[in-house]
Structure 1
């Protein structure tokens, strides 16, 4: 006992810090038991951020569990059918942070230790708690799930990040993700490519068995961040869930380089110099022009940017899509746009109104002007102004000050 006590005093023995917390559907975390040390608490929050979905991801996970455990009688065909299933808004989480010692399978690694979840329960009213049984027959559960046509539905891609990771540790991401996602995406890239030298090489040889024994100096992949599918299935290509989005490696995007110059696609062995393969580079290098749509119906651009023969179609489609010129339609469209862009940053009380922008700046791909598909499928909102003077970058790290009244007060977002 004396030796064990001495080792513990020297920091050589694992130290366990239990915690207990409740989680709302929107990701707000409330601890009922947690270490007083802010650093330890931060490690626990970091781990929970990675493994506990919220928002649409929690809805999808919970509804999937209902189906897997035979609690849904009707056939689910559409996304609307799935959305009609009620979701428990409350979760109760218990576990511990262990500093020192070796993690076990299923533990969440954090700096200097690991977090283990002991239990996750859910509740509809915050009073009566239950957990889905852990001993269900997996084959029967999957059969139940696949009997529903809605299990084949997928989620919409909301962002894509090209990641270039070097064996010595450097990671480049294009475009740069929001600060709150940066560390998580870097961690997922390390996991995807191999965290240790041995894993790095083993995964390489698994994907390219005929490539020889040389180890790549760098690897690449494109991660698509997608809205969760209405139901989660074993055939989902999602690699991980980050809060309320799924991370899906883009098909055909994985590549490696042995010399830092010539890249080789894992999918087909084709080689290319620098940059991304042409078909992927197109995704990140669209030739676009800025167009400003005003609340009063005006649609403006630099006359040299867009050929005159496309002007009428452009103005008509953008007015129809945005509701510009019709106050109620414009307010509805801009509200939906702001909610989509700032889904994780806003908490909007029922019945509350959002400030209505006076204008929105859009990026229009030039090739979309000659494409028969509706422009609404191609443009990207880039900036917004609420007074006609100060423009706010929609993808800046800072929330526009005009939305501060409905900003999320904190939590897992």
Structure 2
């Protein structure tokens, strides 16, 4: 038998919970407060959630075309929530009406479910109102998707081309920050298939290969997809849904960015199966790579001693101190050991194919400064814009700059080859 503990609570936009009716047991009261904090949106997420509910209720008097239109909808700072903390929920409750169950019963960490019966809103706590709800679930979908903004995704913060080989290796261009790598690799594996059988099945599904032809159809050596990290969608809908979230960002997969190779040399498009195979840097694939990396950036120079430079006005004054501090921390500038470790990693990873001998050397020439390209969209990102930069040039003498993506290995590194 389920155990049910009713409650009523008020919650503000920052997530502060005040219980107005709840069990006397302090442990249960603490569980209810923790459950509400765990499951209910706060801050900007609360504003997006309320405005989405408002639109789904069909209340706007005009089409929502821009973010300004959406942000003009006032968001009440207070919520009044009533429901129960439920333990030993009867499985039949979830099976009999799965849509209702998913909407109303939220599983909690540590066991149990949170069941919300009602949600009311108030500006000052005196008058409480709820949003109208149409009994037809498709009505809310129609109200939502009629608005142009429901098709808009959030601003791109970073894009990664993932190249996934059948034997399991995954390469990214550019390389994601270390703290994101495991989650992005797991997403790529899940998308392409964890097992050889799933790998083949996902490939066949992407090309609509008839089941009777699968036995004779080739399996790709490698596959590519483009992952986009975007700011949260302003008006979330099934038309712009993200595949997952990573930190404060939505993760989208570019539907035009899927390719596969049967020979390891030429690539074919999933979006256009009849197109001619393309080599890297040519045709549709070349355009995709070019567009993916064509992000507006601010050139920044970070010096070994900790000095950070950019053109006057390139970084907003209100962001300058934070951006400078985060770049210094990310590169190790001003700390000789940290700087040496970071610049060594940059050189070894950048020239891993052209100069693999660098990885075996105990010491590399000292880098005096590095030029970075910092996406302008990331300048106002409070989560650490430094994690999205790309290194472009280095100087070993403070005067002559070496292109990290040129056709030749810098002479200061080339002369270190064992044969020399």
TM-score by length of 1: 0.50
Equivalent residue, structure 2, for 1:191: 190
Distance, in Å, in 1 between the alignment partners of 2:167 and 2:223 is 11
Contact 2:65 2:148 in 1 (8 A): yes
Equivalent residue, structure 1, for 2:176: 176
- CA shift for structure 1 position 396: 8.5
* Unpaired runs of at least 5, structure 2: 103-109, 303-307, 328-369, 390-420
After superposition, residues 249-328 of structure 1 pair within 5 angstroms as: 249-269=253-273, 270-273=276-279, 277-282=285-290, 283-284=292-293, 290-292=299-301, 318-322=311-315
Equivalent residue, structure 2, for 1:76: 64
Contact 2:161 2:226 in 1 (8 A): yes
Distance, in Å, in 1 between the alignment partners of 2:16 and 2:281 is 40
Contact 1:96 1:117 in 2 (8 A): yes
Distance, in Å, in 1 between the alignment partners of 2:111 and 2:277 is 40
Equivalent residue, structure 2, for 1:334: 320
Equivalent residue, structure 2, for 1:246: 250
Distance, in Å, in 2 between the alignment partners of 1:238 and 1:176 is 19
After superposition, residues 113-132 of structure 1 pair within 5 angstroms as: none
Contact 2:296 2:376 in 1 (8 A): no
After superposition, residues 14-413 of structure 1 pair within 5 angstroms as: 56-73=44-61, 75-87=63-75, 136-167=135-166, 169-173=168-172, 174-177=174-177, 179=179, 181-195=180-194, 197-209=196-208, 213=215, 214-236=218-240, 238-269=242-273, 270-273=276-279, 277-282=285-290, 283-284=292-293, 290-292=299-301, 318-322=311-315, 330=317, 332-334=318-320, 363=372, 394-395=386-387
Counterparts in 2 of 1:336 and 1:147: CA distance versus 1, 3 Å: farther
- CA shift for structure 1 position 79: 1.2
Deviation string for 1:285-343 (max 9, x for gaps)?
999995459xxxxx978xxxxxxxxxxxxxxxx535546xxxxxx3x3537968999xx
Q: Secondary structure at the match of 1:280?
A: helix
Q: Secondary structure at the match of 2:237?
A: coil
- Is the radius of gyration larger for structure 1 or structure 2? 2
* Unpaired runs of at least 5, structure 1: 1-17, 108-112, 294-298, 302-317, 324-329, 342-360, 366-376, 382-391, 398-413
Coordinate RMSD, CA, aligned = 6.0
Greater RCO (Cα-Cα under 8 Å, separation 6 or more): 1
